[in-house]
Structure 1
Amino acid sequence: MPFSSLGLSAPLLSAVSQYVAPTPVQSAAIPVVLKGGDVLATAQTGSGKTMAFVLPLLQRWLSTRLEKPRRVHTLILVPTRELAAQVTETVLRCSVHLPERIKVVSAFGGVSINPQMMALRGGADFVIATPGRLLDLVDHNALHLSYVSALVLDEADRLLDLGFADELKRVLALLPKRRQNLLFSATFPEAVQALAKELLHEPTVIEIESAPTEMPVIEQRAIEVDTDQRTPLLRHLIKTEGWKRVLVFVAKQYSAEHVADKLRRSGIGAVAFHGDLSQGARSQALADFKESQIQVLVATDLAGRGLDIVQLPVVVNYDLPRSAVDYTHRIGRTGRAGEAGVAVSFITAESHAHFCLIEKRHHLSIAREQIPGFEPLDLAPPPSPSTGGIKGRRKSKKDKLREAAARQSGSVTR
């Protein structure tokens, strides 16, 4: 099915002329959005969700726009600055052939609010924003939301994961009751289900399953290693396996800086990427990584969703993600658009049980590897049926001492 069969106008078809055909989520969503219906769409990262709502909303804006003053027609809420920048870029790219010039404003925290307030002078047609900064702009009387015709929640699951529920309620209270609502999400947990029930009116539900041929594109590896040998092993793999560009996930901002610094000292171009960096530093790090100016980007889960990095060959889970769902999003940064990719997870004694849970949740069975010279000395504890946690933690020294004392006294500690 070509784009021309979906009801898009000639200027928008020109904007997508480089694409052979729409993705499944685009084919399903575009006709519904064009008719003004609400949509609940779940599809994996990299499935083309952004263009699925941008293209038809541009066409609806073109048919209903007011000359002056400009009023916010479409409000798109996103969880991160990076996703705000990407969606803004998509809107501008898709609107390049429209007969009328569209005004698009991107608003997010971490930078001065003043340029964003200046950009909103005279109004805007599309606003792409994170919830917190949007409310800041409303409080500064920089924009009004009473004329919004379409609301999009992009990466809705991530919006809720990052604690934006209260902000979303405040934003919804500022919007007109009669509007189009589009909710796009990679997963559909209970919190998203509750939000959809409250937000959407007789929505068209679109569920795009991952094609069976998509997962084998990513070679998944699990390498056993001691905790303090992960950085030397990472250096070794980068050099011996010839990895030209690597996205490395760590759990903490400190770890991102520490690992990046260790790699740089060994002659490998690496940059940390986390939430404490300024927006300028984050944008520069991404740009340098995408252009292969640096070899390794060491990131927290800030980069796990919504980033489109073309031809990324390798992802490394230096630290495992906290949730099994985030494992999919992390490794989904590679193996995109038919390209082959490799996803490597470092398995320590502490994380062994947690990785087993990830495998169970995703119906995986990944063979454990050991790299010569980096064989682990600290072995994973045997599985215990009485433990209910998922982190796979071993007994602490204090616990062992208590048990030893109990055995000596012949009593049982309670």
Structure 2
Amino acid sequence: MHLSIGEAPNGAEGGATTATRPRDAQGTNEPAEPGSPSQTIVTFADFGLDPSILKAVAELGYREPTPIQAQAIPVVMAGKDVMGAAQTGTGKTAGFALPIIHKLLPLASTSTSPARHPVRALIIAPTRELADQIHENVKAYSRHTPLRSAVVFGGVDMKPQTAALRGGVEILTATPGRLLDHVEQKSTNLSQVQILVLDEADRMLDMGFLPDIQRIINLLAAQRQSLMFSATFSPEIRKLARSFLKEPQLIEVARRNALADNVEQTVYRVDGDEAKRAAVASLIRDRALEQVIVFSNTKIGAGRLARQLQKEGLKAEAIHGDKSQQERLQTLEAFKQGEIKVLVATDVAARGLDIVELPAVINYDLPHSPEDYVHRIGRTGRAGASGMALSLMVDKDQRALADIEKLTQRKLTVEALAVTLPGRRGDSREFSADAYRGSGREKRGREGTAARRDSSPDRDRSPPARRSGSSPNRSPAKTDPFFSRPYEPAEDAGVEAAAEPAARNGLRRPARKVAALLGGKP
């Protein structure tokens, strides 16, 4: 497993654009508009990239550009603003990184003076993982050039980042919050930025970064080239684009919400969270999945599921916002190396993670947004390989399923799933999702009650160890019978009667006179 940078998109179809159109099956382009880039892009050399860049590309094993690269690279090299619609795995990172490196090479310096290496290209990403991945790609593409690059993100010590920035870098990748921290610390200066890239702008808006983005844009020079990439073009994204892009070239390489035909999509009905957790382990074993990403809507749910899978003997780890940066990076690296079999992730934590030849994804929770469903399953079945997208649902997910089918314009297969739940005392229970279809209401009620009883926190605790020879049926300690009596409002004497034992033990306080009113006389 390794990072994917130059893959073809899932189910990609040519979309409307004012740049070069996607290549056809014979590797040629349709006629472009007058003044547009070359119409026959079949290799990276055809772009006119610097030989040092072509050498790095060849060493990385890239043979021909993907559709997003074929469209974006000539436009970026021409100095135009870009509004690109591209999802993870389409090769968009190389689509903007390669031409940026090419454009900055004339300004590159071999001097050791930090002043000769100001920040000239700024790449903003929503998450630490995506920022780190972009930085690694930039380093790989520029390995044979004197250009310097760095990445800054939150969750780790600022001191090493500050040292790197003060040493001088031409290409800086950052998350919004940590970048502003460094600006306030005066460890970086953005006044000479010539190229700005906003990657996964839709996710940045979802995460509430719009105010930070606006602050960053206000720090930049007005005369610059701006590139924005987003998985979707919502009204909010278009409004953001109008605020800082100047006559941008629209680039779309895939039909919106396109789904790959080579990905098997199946939805399974289950009964509650306990059955869902058991279903995940069952699907992984039954399908012999060697590597899979499991999506959870919540951080708590991701952690619980990972722990349950570990108890089932599976090599699983969770990745979410509550994990430290070091833990997240270690988990991602272990997953990419195959040391971890199951990666349980939230959408935000998994954003930007690209794994080549990922055989399957599992939706432990159906996503709140149908667009996120498309993003999730787009991680499998890449480059023409087959993949599986397996989803679990309960009764309350019916609306979410309908929204997904409406957005994708595809009826998803819903199947019953027999799940064997581990018993608490050596037994096992089996639930079939057929109960959802038909009149099994009473039966489901009994099963639901049993499931809630078995999943009670008290039952998960191990009882204290008994002394040797003690009886397992030992009667509980005696308690005051008053606390076991039902409430009887009609009998006012009950409280007095309950207090009599205490009085007999000499605990009654001596009687004293009490004033009828505060400050009054007795």
TM more than 0.5: yes
In 2, Cα distance between equivalents of 1:211 and 1:40: 15
Within 5 Å, which residues of 2 pair with 1:1-400?
1-17=42-58, 18-65=61-108, 68=113, 69=115, 70-98=117-145, 101-210=146-255, 215-227=260-272, 228-373=274-419, 374-376=431-433, 379=436
For 2:225 and 2:256, locate their aligned partners in 1 and report how far apart those are by CA, in whole Å: 30
Contact 2:86–2:253 under 8 Å retained in 1: yes
Distance 1:222 1:216, change over 3 A: same
Q: Which ranges in structure 1 are unaligned for 5 or more consecutive residues?
A: 383-414
1:124-181 Cα deviation digits (max 9, x unpaired):
1111000110000000010011110100001111111111000011001100000110
Q: Distance between the aligned counterparts of 1:353 and 1:203, measured in 2? A: 37
1:357 offset after TM fit, Å?
A: 1.2
TM-fit CA distance, 1:303? 3.7
What is the distance in 1 between the residues matched to 2:257 and 2:221?
42
SS at 2:384 equivalent: coil
Tell me, yes or no, if the aligned pair for 2:270 and 2:276 is still in contact at 8 Å.
Answer: yes
Q: TM-score, normalised by structure 1?
A: 0.88
Matched AA of 2:142: S
Alpha-carbon contact 2:154-2:175 (below 8 Å) kept? yes
Q: CA deviation at 1:42?
A: 0.8
Does the 8 A contact of 1:349 with 1:380 survive in 2? Answer: no
Partner amino acid, structure 1, of 2:195: A
Looking at structure 1, the residues matched to 124 and 201 of structure 2 have their Cα atoms a distance apart, in angstroms, of 9
Shift in alpha-carbon separation, 1:378–1:304, aligned structure 2, 3 A: farther
**Paired residue total:** 380
* RMSD, aligned α-carbons: 1.9
SS in 2 for 1:105: strand
Between 7-16 and 158-167, the greater mean CA deviation after superposition: 7-16
Residue 226 of structure 1 contacts residue 377 of structure 1 at CA under 8 Å; is this kept in 2? no
Alpha-carbon displacement from aligned partner over 1:250-308 (angstroms, at most 9, x marks no partner): 11111111111111111111101101111110011111111111111111112442111
Q: Residue 226 of structure 1 contacts residue 378 of structure 1 at CA under 8 Å; is this kept in 2?
A: no
What percent of counterpart residues are identical? Answer: 43
Cα distance, 1:191 vs. partner?
1.1
Q: Which amino acid letter does the alignment assign opposite residue 155 of structure 1?
A: E
Q: Report the CA distance shift for 1:162/1:381 in structure 2 as closer, same or farther (over 3 A).
A: farther
CA contact (8 A) 1:324 1:361 kept: yes
Alpha-carbon distance in structure 1 between the residues aligned to 2:437 and 2:167: 62
| Deviation, structure 1 residue 248 | 0.5
> 1:13 & 1:299 partners in 2: Cα distance?
36
In 2, the alpha carbon distance for the partners of 1:41 and 1:87 equals 17
**In structure 2, the residue corresponding to 1:351 is in which secondary structure?**
helix
Write out per-residue CA displacement over residues 340-389 of structure 1, whole angstroms, 9 at most, x where no aligned residue. Answer: 1100110111112211111111101011111234413763899xxxxxxx
Pair member with larger Rg: 2
Shifted more, 84-93 versus 347-356: the winner is 347-356
Question: Structure 2: where are the runs of 5+ without partners?
Answer: 1-41, 420-430, 440-522
Alignment-mate amino acid for residue 194 of structure 1: K
- The CA deviation at 1:116 is 0.9
SS state at 1:343 partner: strand
